[in-house]
């Protein structure tokens, strides 16, 4: 049984969500006002938050920002505003998934189950977690998002990855970037990076083979393992945000190179 905090101001919809989630074996707590959300979150300590975007008192994006600033708990945004900018903004703030109204309650239960499964797998070390270090298309030839080992890896490590000749120069500072999957932490030149779940997976993927060009499809498969529909613009947003955080440690250096029409690669 997992505790689910549902922040939703439509009483009938909130009760429907409670009914279906409780039938799936979860314990549910309802909040109908944005001003009450953080107090309920701190007191109840849920395993997952279903968070409406449009709330009285306080916007769901502000609440998501506060949650992500202090916790690894996954957040699924629920919204009737399906514009792309809202989706991307939610992902930048650290939302793990989006559900647009109107929706099937069974779909919500399935999304909750998928996000919780990824979080539990991450906690057990079987795959990169969905929590904070802190969001496809199937392709059998695409590698998994990181090495099979749950221990720290340094950029340049080839563990569990086939060798790929990209023609890129050798990386003299391979050990400067450390990605600790078990500890859910990444650092560059000794500086700990504050990353969202998707940014951590992205860095873990690119750092597994520095210099290798990863196509957009490979990046999508590495970031999202539940076959959700994600636009290329969402990938661009995550790359931009990760690039900015790396540049804060190494000003003036573009460590993630875009190979136009092909994909992305990490250079140090």
pLDDT of residue 228 exceeding 70, the answer is: no
pLDDT value of residue 225: 56
**Rounded (10°) angle between helices 216-223 and 232-249:** 80
The per-residue pLDDT for range 122-163, each reduced to its tens digit, is 555 544 333 333 333 222 222 333 333 334 444 433 233 232
Q: Which domains does the chain have, with CATH numbers?
A: 3-124 (3.40.50.2300), 152-266 (1.10.10.10)
Mean pLDDT of 36-51: 95
Q: Taking every pair of C-alpha atoms in the chain, what is the biggest distance, in angstroms?
A: 60
Q: Which residues pair with 180 in a beta bridge?
A: 152, 185
Output the CA torsion sign for 48, 53, 58, 61.
positive
pLDDT value of residue 88: 54
Mean pLDDT of 169-198: 76
How remote is the C-alpha of 72 from its chain's centroid? Answer: 10
């Amino acid at each position: 049984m997992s505790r689910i905090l549902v922040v939703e101001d439509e009483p009938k919809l909130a009760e429907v969500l409670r009914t279906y989630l409780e039938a799936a074996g979860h314990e549910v707590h309802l909040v109908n006002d944005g001003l009450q959300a953080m107090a309920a979150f701190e007191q109840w300590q849920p395993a997952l938050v279903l968070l409406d975007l449009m709330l009285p008192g306080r916007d769901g994006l502000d609440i998501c920002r506060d949650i992500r600033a202090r916790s690894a708990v996954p957040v699924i945004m629920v919204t009737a505003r399906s514009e792309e900018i809202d989706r991307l903004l939610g992902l930048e703030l650290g939302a793990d998934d989006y559900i647009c109204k109107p929706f099937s309650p069974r779909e919500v239960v399935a999304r909750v189950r998928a996000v919780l499964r990824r979080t539990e797998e991450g906690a057990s070390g079987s795959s990169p977690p969905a929590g904070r270090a802190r969001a496809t298309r199937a392709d059998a030839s695409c590698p998994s998002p990181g090495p099979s080992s749950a221990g720290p890896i340094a950029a340049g490590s080839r563990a569990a990855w086939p060798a790929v000749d990209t023609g890129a120069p050798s990386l003299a500072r391979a050990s400067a970037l450390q990605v600790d999957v078990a500890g859910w932490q990444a650092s560059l030149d000794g500086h700990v990076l504050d990353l969202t779940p998707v940014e951590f997976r992205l860095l873990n993927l690119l750092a597994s083979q520095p210099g290798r060009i990863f196509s957009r499809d490979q990046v999508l498969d590495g970031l999202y393992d539940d076959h959700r529909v994600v636009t290329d613009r969402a990938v661009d947003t995550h790359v931009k945000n990760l690039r900015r955080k790396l540049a804060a440690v190494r000003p003036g250096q573009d460590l993630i190179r875009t190979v136009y029409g092909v994909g992305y690669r990490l250079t140090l």
